[in-house]
Structure 1
Amino acid sequence: MPEVHVTIEWPDQQRDTIYSPSTVLLQYLKPGDSFSIRDFEERISKALQVASQRVYERYGFECTSAMGELARLKAQIAAIDDKTSCIKVLS
């Protein structure tokens, strides 16, 4: 399966790279998009769950890397004080 890496910018202007085992991530996050914290969390959760499911359908097991990435991102989201701020998709 083709891996995808997407670069985002957190509200504090720190850049981060998101890993997905599937190009499905590109259906949820497109360069130039900006999302509220809540919308980003919903999108990234759905995207990485679908990506993991695609791995399961192809290989018979879920992608632990995608689920680990989701857990990491959710922890970072939980640490954001200003929930009204936005996350930008850079590339």
Structure 2
Amino acid sequence: MPEMTFTVRWPDGAVQECYSPSLVMHDHLDVGGCYTVDDFRSRATTALDEAAERVRAKFGFACTSAAATADDIKNTATRYDAGALVEVLAMHPPLPTASPLETS
């Protein structure tokens, strides 16, 4: 199962590096995207819950690191106004792009 990190900038300029045990974050967030604090918290924790369940399905136990990241995001989000903006700066690794042969 491919792991990934995603980097966000909170409304006060603080940058946070986050961990996910799955690339599922790409289904919920976009690099360069700006989300309200409430929307970001919701999207990120939903994705991290999905990631933890993917680990559970494959290995028989949930990923505690995904839960810890979700808790960090929830706790950090409480410091800001719900309507303030969080920016997704990076996601690594990126999703593979389709080759020209696959799109024709």
Settle same-fold status: TM greater than 0.5.
Answer: yes
Runs of 4+ residues over 6 Å off in structure 1 = none
Work out the CA distance in 1 between the residues paired with 2:84 and 2:79.
13
Question: Structure 1 residue 56 and structure 2 residue 60: aligned?
Answer: no
Work out the CA distance in 1 between the residues paired with 2:88 and 2:61.
29
State the 1:38 CA deviation: 1.1
Question: How many residues in Structure 1 have an aligned counterpart in Structure 2?
Answer: 90
Report the equivalent of 1:2: 2
Report the equivalent of 1:89: 88
For structure 2, the residue ranges without an aligned partner over 5 or more in a row are 91-104
Report the equivalent of 1:27: 27
State the TM-score, normalizing by the size of structure 2: 0.83
State the 1:90 CA deviation: 0.7
For structure 1, the residue ranges without an aligned partner over 5 or more in a row are none
| Amino acid aligned to 1:42 | S
- Percent identity of paired positions between Structure 1 and Structure 2: 36
Between structure 1 and structure 2, the one with the greater Rg is 2
| Amino acid aligned to 1:14 | A
